[in-house]
Chain A
Amino acid sequence: MKFLVTVMEFRIALARPRLLAFNVMVPVVLVLAISLGGAPEFHAAAVYTVLFTIFGTFGSAIPLVRDAEAGLFGRIIRSGVPPSHFLIERAAGGSAIDALQLLPALTIATLGSISLNGWIRAVLVLWSSIWIANLLGNLVAAAARSLAETALFSAVVTLFLLHLSGVFRTPLPQSSWAVIEAFSPFQALHETLLTVSAGTSTEFPLGLVVWVLILPVVTVFLARSVTRSLRLASDG
């Protein structure tokens, strides 16, 4: 693997400084508004989790569909990059860039209420969650036939997974919903953001680890179908 796609993702991000600045500033402004507005901890954590995860899925799915419609995706695959390498490398590059862009917002969200170790854990949880969101974005893009559909599907899939992850409601302990929540991808991020004021969460992020490991395997397995579907997008 030559990591051509990952390197290209970084080059593209650096070549668009205006967009880079927006992607840093917009989350910072939103987080600042909420943290300075005195929002209750539970609501603030929910908003941050939604913001960070949607940043990952939308940021992955929409450019992929746009590139597919323009014919660039087809050109990349045709040029010799295996579909599975492309999707994994793209998610790797995209999640690293997203995590770096969200780092100031995360730092503000946790400012003054977290130890260095806790902050490092929060960064790792954020990065892993965005890695999942980027991989989900790839799969969502394959199901969509237009940019509008991509935005809709990204929102629906992310919000549904956020719901399962306990972001919008707290399931009764030992209920089946609680078990589902433990295995949900964004539960760890929500839990981390929720517990910052009360000290860092020490709970093992089971759902996060499962999704971090399984989703790349699913992506590799579905890579050819994703490629075929995205090429259909470029054929109109």
Chain B
Amino acid sequence: MNSTTADETVVMDSGLTSLIKVSGLHFRYASSPPVLIDIDLEVSAGEIVALLGPNGAGKSTLLRILLNELTPESGTIAGPLLSMKSSRVLMGYAGEETAHFNSLTGIQNAHFFARAAGVEKHEVSEMVSGLMNLVGLSNEADKVVSSYSFGAKRKLLLLEALVHQPKLLLLDEPTVGLDPVSRDALADILSKCSQEGSAIVMASHDLNFLEQLADRILVIDEGRVVSSGSQIELLSSLGTATRFQVSVDTASIELPQYFGEDVELVDDSGPLVFETTRGQAALPEIWAALISARVKILGVEVREPGLAELFRRVTGQELPG
């Protein structure tokens, strides 16, 4: 059972300052079917919100609506962020593209985007070189971007989204193309941004990254928020049971009644799905019961409680990648 449903507005901790609030948002591209349906979302200063969902669920579209690049069909977007006056651009965005001025160096690109976002001339060198160090681009700062690897271009893109210290940071698949060291560095940077009061909304399929950072997760499927809450809330809705999915040759199937202590067969319509609170310790007994019943086993998949399992149960799909 989900901690909240699509119809419930996400309730914020009263101590946090809401930056942006989306209510009853609907969106569609031209005459296409709806992409987003009745989305409610409130993001507070210092909060990290993750958008999780299959490809085409509407996560990137939601980010672009928050950026004010797309106009919703109905619904409201409000909050102090939209009326704040600042010499700097208040939002930062890193999408999936890696477009840069390819004939210029990384540092020239970073300077341009920093200055465009309102960073003063006397601050820009220090801010850019500080972030270049943090994301691991210092050695490549003076090389032209056309010589960069995909990962280096992604790092530069993230740096450019972060350099003006935005109040709201919108990230679409931020870990794509990053090696584990850079990924950890990004997690540290985002944690620090959050501690300093920036709100972060990110769409990602990198579950470890989301587990590490997200204060709140919205699972979006077919344009609707199908589940939302903190990681603890969402995972507790799964219970503590481990699931095994056993693929068997259905031609030879005659299932036994007993699969071991505290093991329950919860689905036999396709691959057999067993649930147990004993974790992987129950697997040998299930295996033995199936073998003794002369069931031909084709494969076994273990599903420990976690975001991947939550995603599968809520959307009925596997995570891409």
The yes or no verdict on A and B being binding partners is yes
- 8 Å CB contact of A70 from B69, B99, B108, B117: B99
A78 near B97 with CB under 8 A, answer: no
| Chain A, 21-63, CB within 8 A of any chain B CB | none
B115 near A12 with CB under 8 A, answer: no
B99 near A79 with CB under 8 A, answer: no
Q: How many residues of B contact A (CB 8 A)?
A: 22
Main secondary structure of the interface of A (DSSP, over half): helix
Shortest distance between the CB of A227 and any CB in chain B (Å): 10
B116 near A79 with CB under 8 A, answer: yes
Q: Which residues of B contact A2 (CB under 8 A)?
A: 115
Q: Which residues of B contact A114 (CB under 8 A)?
A: none
Q: Which residues of B contact A8 (CB under 8 A)?
A: 101, 104, 112
Q: Which residues of B contact A11 (CB under 8 A)?
A: 101, 104, 108
- 8 Å CB contact of B117 from A12, A15, A16, A80: A80
The answer to whether the Cβ of A96 comes within 8 Å of any Cβ in the partner chain is: no
Q: Given A4-B115, A78-B93, A79-B89, A72 and B67 touching (CB < 8 A)?
A: no
B117 near A79 with CB under 8 A, answer: yes
The answer to whether the Cβ of B259 comes within 8 Å of any Cβ in the partner chain is: no
Q: Could you tell me the distance between the alpha carbons of A81 and B112 in the complex, rounded to whole angstroms?
A: 10
B116 near A80 with CB under 8 A, answer: yes
Shortest distance between the CB of B153 and any CB in chain A (Å): 12
Q: Mark B159-193, 1 if CB is under 8 A from A, else 0.
A: 01000100000000000000000000000000000
Minimum CB distance partner of B68 in chain A: A78
Minimum CB distance partner of A16 in chain B: B103
B118 near A80 with CB under 8 A, answer: yes
The answer to whether the Cβ of B229 comes within 8 Å of any Cβ in the partner chain is: no
A72 near B104 with CB under 8 A, answer: no
B160 near A78 with CB under 8 A, answer: no
Minimum CB distance partner of A11 in chain B: B104
B104 near A76 with CB under 8 A, answer: no
Q: Which residues of B contact A90 (CB under 8 A)?
A: none
| Chain A, 143-197, CB within 8 A of any chain B CB | none
Q: Could you tell me the distance between the alpha carbons of A80 and B118 in the complex, rounded to whole angstroms?
A: 8
Q: Which residues of A contact B248 (CB under 8 A)?
A: none
Shortest distance between the CB of B28 and any CB in chain A (Å): 14
Shortest distance between the CB of B143 and any CB in chain A (Å): 12
B101 near A79 with CB under 8 A, answer: no
Q: Which residues of B contact A74 (CB under 8 A)?
A: 69, 97, 99
A71 near B95 with CB under 8 A, answer: yes
Q: Which residues of A contact B99 (CB under 8 A)?
A: 67, 70-72, 74-75
Q: Mark B99-137, 1 if CB is under 8 A from A, else 0.
A: 111011000100011011110000000000000000000
A8, A67, A71, A80 interface centre (most CB from chain B within 10 Å) = A80
Q: Could you tell me the distance between the alpha carbons of A16 and B103 in the complex, rounded to whole angstroms?
A: 7
Q: Which residues of A contact B93 (CB under 8 A)?
A: 78
A12 near B104 with CB under 8 A, answer: yes
| Chain A, 75-94, CB within 8 A of any chain B CB | 75-76, 78-81
Q: Which residues of B contact A16 (CB under 8 A)?
A: 103
Interface residues of B (CB under 8 A from A): 67, 69, 88-89, 93, 95, 97, 99-101, 103-104, 108, 112-113, 115-118, 144, 160, 164
Closest 6 CB pairs of A and B: A71-B97, A72-B99, A71-B99, A80-B89, A79-B116, A15-B103
Provide a sorted-by-A list of 10 A–B residue pairs whose CB atoms are within 8 angstroms: A4-B112, A8-B101, A12-B104, A16-B103, A70-B99, A72-B99, A75-B97, A75-B99, A80-B89, A80-B164
